[in-house]
Amino acid sequence: MKPVKHWEFVQAAGNRIDLECDGKHSLHLFVLEHELIRVLFKKNKQSVVDKTWSVAGPEQDVAWQGRDRMSTEGFSLPGFRLEHLDNGLQLETDRLRLTVEKPLRLLWEHKCAVTGHWLPLAQDRTSGAYMFGVTENTVSHFMARKRDDRYYGLGEKAGNLNRAGKRFQMRNLDAMGYDAESTDPLYKHIPFYIVRQQEEAAAQGVSYGLFYDNLASCWFDLGNELDNYHGFYRSYRAEDGDLDYYLVFGPSTLEVTRRYTQLTGRTAFGPKWSLGYSGSTMHYTDADNAQEQLLQFVELCKQHNIPCDSFQLSSGYTSINNKRYVFNWNYSKVPTPEVMTADFHRAGMKLAANIKPCLLQDHPRFAEVKEKGLFIRDSETDEPESSQFWDDEGSHLDFTNPDTINWWKANVTEQLLAKGIDSTWNDNNEFEVWDSGARCAGFGQETPVRRIRPLHTLMMMRASFEAQQEFASQLRPYLISRSGCAGMHRYAQTWTGDNYTNWKTLRYNTRMGLGMSLSGLFNVGHDVGGFAGMRPEPELFARWVQNGVMHPRFTIHSWNDDRTVNEPWMYPEVTPIIREAMALRYRLLPYFYHLLWLAHDAHEPMLRPTFLDHEHDARTFEECDDFMLGRDLLVASVVEQGQRQRQVYLPDNGNGWYDFHRQNWYAGGQTITLSAALEEIPLLARAGAIIPTSSRIAHVDASQDSQRQLLVFPYKGQGQGSTTVFDDDGESFAYRQGGHLLLQIDMQCSHERIELQIAKSGHWVPAYTSLTLELPVGEKRALFINGKQYAHGAAFALADAQVRA
């Protein structure tokens, strides 16, 4: 590695400033937004990979062949001031000021919204901030750090939410049975983190994010490493690729997450049924009578009164003997796929089928795919690369080859969708290609796999997404992917992979999911009950389900060592508890759906650390097991064996909180003790919240969802606020042309009355014609809606809502 030290100004071209470094490298500074500045190095004045697939630009997707790395399309490109200094230069937007010093060092400031003064934000370390490999394409970036800085994000990472003092690697691995507190790396490549620092000149801190747009394996050191020569620092190192990063200013953490997610693309708006319970286990499809066992699951759901919207077919349906072969139906296990899918559909359940991007060397179609040239190729020969995959060796498909994409889409259509499968489960897609120099088509620019490994996963998702979209163009696609990289949220829901069954996993998976949410992966969940290891004992299983029903993705999935199956009815003594937790999930489905809409429309995280909406409250930054579901519900999961009371710190929100179940009101800024009997989920609602709920405890069917409630949690004394509630048919694209119902609800409370103003927009007409207003028990104030008094518990006709233009 060799540091980059000297630089000279070349030109200012539009919103780009060009510098020459050490007489041979290029440094480009892009002013994209007032809160967004990009830094791009070109070693020897050339990009290693001249395209990006992660940066979509606001409101866009990316072409299959990628987005030109130099493009500024889609950004507002605001005006900025450029000044040449004695020892450098300085550029300034309305929110950010960047100073480039000599020797090469970047210093960042932000403008205080209160005083208008420029305040320090971030800076490179004083020596050797940027380094390039001499004979290889390794890159490094070193920044100064403060001891009390907090670091969040990096996607799917084990351990505490605050990453300070740790080192992490991005290298997608199939981490079967991982330790949720310590295992690293895991399945995903999200080189983005948020810095939360206390600001000396203000009572409240500020946040900014750093996104490194590079698909090569990389490392982040956030205070684990010390070197006497450089002071306190943190670092980013990559084994290949370009040094290309974006600094995203908040000042709040929520604003950083929103802006980063907007940068990398809009969250997919899946169908409403994707938020219902999804059953899954490897045991059923591995059985010799798989179709019989799968249909037995449908009957058992009815027998035990368990609502269910979908089932995920594990890869056993593709088996020949004990191995798995993508797009191969084992007709001895599943004699009639079309009959099976029709039976599931009659029960109101969809099916998602597991697919894998690697063909084993004895796959019946291996020779065909090899002849077509669809595999990633060996670094030294024209043979397909060969890597370990499941119980044999196989070759990975090259998703940077348009012919591979077309082959994949055709097989998803013919082998799955045409047989009645509704969705794809993109699994085992870490692309652990052992030959790091293996050659990829690169959409016309041959590229070694080490530079773009996670891109194959992203393109696999997109191919599956488009196959579903083209097959049923009137329906919104829904798919699942285990692995991925920045931008994967544009196509898929995800989960935290093959977790291990114990209490520790339950605790740290929750923190893992919050870290993913801060990193733009909003539609997430975990394998409820644990995937690997022994089956969960009854108490752990009950608590895991109670936690799982409060996540966007709710799936019970397992491959237990003792050959048992995690199912809602696996323990009769806790089945009623499981049933009630799942009933609560379905009652809250309108709220979950609204949160999914907000994730798509406004880049709002569905799962949120408690500090995300309460950064003024220092206590919320302490590590805990609580989280917010949207901005209105505080979930205090029980993650300790035998616990029957739960201490909960209530963030200081200025208005207080209600016990969701008992409806007692508590002031914020205090720790309270709630009952946590085994049958209870400690849950609180923000005072001022209005939560939509449904009476339908069954699979999603908009035509049958005929009763809708609004749970109103009024301000205790005086207060006012507003909320929106989104709904539509739950499956089509009609919402884009006004085929939706959007309620705008304004609430104003005094000591004598609660006043709601309800207005509506959109032309979708739901099966429910009224809204039942439910207030906390003991609430005595008069209720007025649009100026008319209503009794508590009365129904408000949607026809009486004001119409918004």
pLDDT given for residue 405 in this prediction: 98
User: Which pLDDT tens digit goes with each residue over 66-92?
Assistant: 999 999 999 999 999 999 999 999 999
Whether pLDDT at 169 is above 70: yes
pLDDT given for residue 156 in this prediction: 98
pLDDT given for residue 684 in this prediction: 98
Helix (H, G, I), strand (E, B) or coil at 377: strand
According to DSSP, residue 415 is labeled I
Half-sphere exposure of 30 (CA within 13 A, CB side): 20
Rounded Cα–Cα distance for residues 627 and 712 (Å):
21
Q: Per-domain residue ranges for the chain? A: 2-154+190-264, 267-495, 701-803
- Mean pLDDT, range 748-770, rounded to an integer: 98
**Two tokens at 300?**
């058992």
Q: Give residues with Cβ within 8 angstroms of 281, minimum separation 6.
A: 314, 556, 557, 558, 559, 565, 566, 567
Is the backbone of residue 466 left (phi > 0), alpha (psi -120 to 50) or beta? alpha
**Considering the chain, what percentage of its residues have pLDDT values greater than 90?**
97
User: Which pLDDT tens digit goes with each residue over 250-292?
Assistant: 999 999 999 999 999 999 999 999 999 999 999 999 999 999 9
Buried b (16+ CB within 10 A) or exposed e, 746-782: ebbbeeeebbbbbebbbebebebebbbbbbbeebeee
Provide the sign of the torsion angle of the four alpha carbons 599, 603, 607, 608, taken in this order.
Answer: negative
**Two tokens at 7?**
């630089």
Nearest to 608 by CA among 477, 525, 516: 516
Whether pLDDT at 526 is above 80: yes
**The domain defined by 701-803 carries CATH number 2.60.40.1180:** yes
pLDDT given for residue 563 in this prediction: 87
Average pLDDT score, the chain: 97
Helix (H, G, I), strand (E, B) or coil at 76: coil
Q: In whole angstroms, how far apart are CA 318 and each of 322, 324, 349, 356, 392?
A: 10, 5, 21, 10, 15
pLDDT band at 60 (very low <50, low <70, confident <90, very high): confident
User: Which pLDDT tens digit goes with each residue over 220-261?
Assistant: 999 999 999 999 999 999 999 999 999 999 999 999 999 999
Whether pLDDT at 108 is above 90: yes
User: Which pLDDT tens digit goes with each residue over 388-398?
Assistant: 998 899 999 99
Whether pLDDT at 59 is above 90: no
- CATH architecture observed for domain 267-495: Alpha-Beta Barrel (3.20)
pLDDT given for residue 200 in this prediction: 56
Q: How wide is the angle at C-alpha 267 spanned by C-alphas 263 and 270, nearest 5°?
A: 165
Q: Give residues with Cβ within 8 angstroms of 501, minimum separation 6.
A: 529, 530, 531, 532, 533, 534, 535, 536, 540, 558, 560
pLDDT band at 805 (very low <50, low <70, confident <90, very high): confident
For the domain made up of 2-154+190-264, give the CATH fold.
Immunoglobulin-like (2.60.40)
pLDDT given for residue 113 in this prediction: 87
pLDDT given for residue 32 in this prediction: 98
Instruction: Determine contact, residues 104/130, Cβ cutoff 8 Å.
Output: yes
| Phi and psi angles of residue 296, each rounded to the nearest 5 degrees, phi first | -65, -35
pLDDT given for residue 441 in this prediction: 98
Q: Give residues with Cβ within 8 angstroms of 768, minimum separation 6.
A: 705, 706, 707, 708, 798
User: Which pLDDT tens digit goes with each residue over 594-635?
Assistant: 999 999 999 999 999 999 999 999 999 999 999 999 999 999
**Two tokens at 570?**
């696996």
pLDDT given for residue 135 in this prediction: 84
- Mean pLDDT, range 328-345, rounded to an integer: 98
The yes-or-no answer to whether 2-154+190-264 and 701-803 have a common fold is yes
- Mean pLDDT, range 347-351, rounded to an integer: 98
User: Which pLDDT tens digit goes with each residue over 182-210?
Assistant: 999 999 999 999 999 986 544 579 999 99
pLDDT band at 748 (very low <50, low <70, confident <90, very high): very high
Instruction: Determine contact, residues 484/457, Cβ cutoff 8 Å.
Output: yes
Rounded Cα–Cα distance for residues 434 and 432 (Å):
6
Helix (H, G, I), strand (E, B) or coil at 84: strand
Helix then strand then coil, % of the chain, to nearest 5: 20, 30, 45
Q: Give residues with Cβ within 8 angstroms of 303, minimum separation 6.
A: none
Q: Give residues with Cβ within 8 angstroms of 679, minimum separation 6.
A: 576, 577, 580
Whether pLDDT at 688 is above 90: yes
pLDDT given for residue 204 in this prediction: 75
Whether pLDDT at 297 is above 60: yes
pLDDT given for residue 199 in this prediction: 64
Nearest to 25 by CA among 54, 5, 55: 5
- Mean pLDDT, range 415-439, rounded to an integer: 97
Flag whether the pTM goes above 0.95: yes
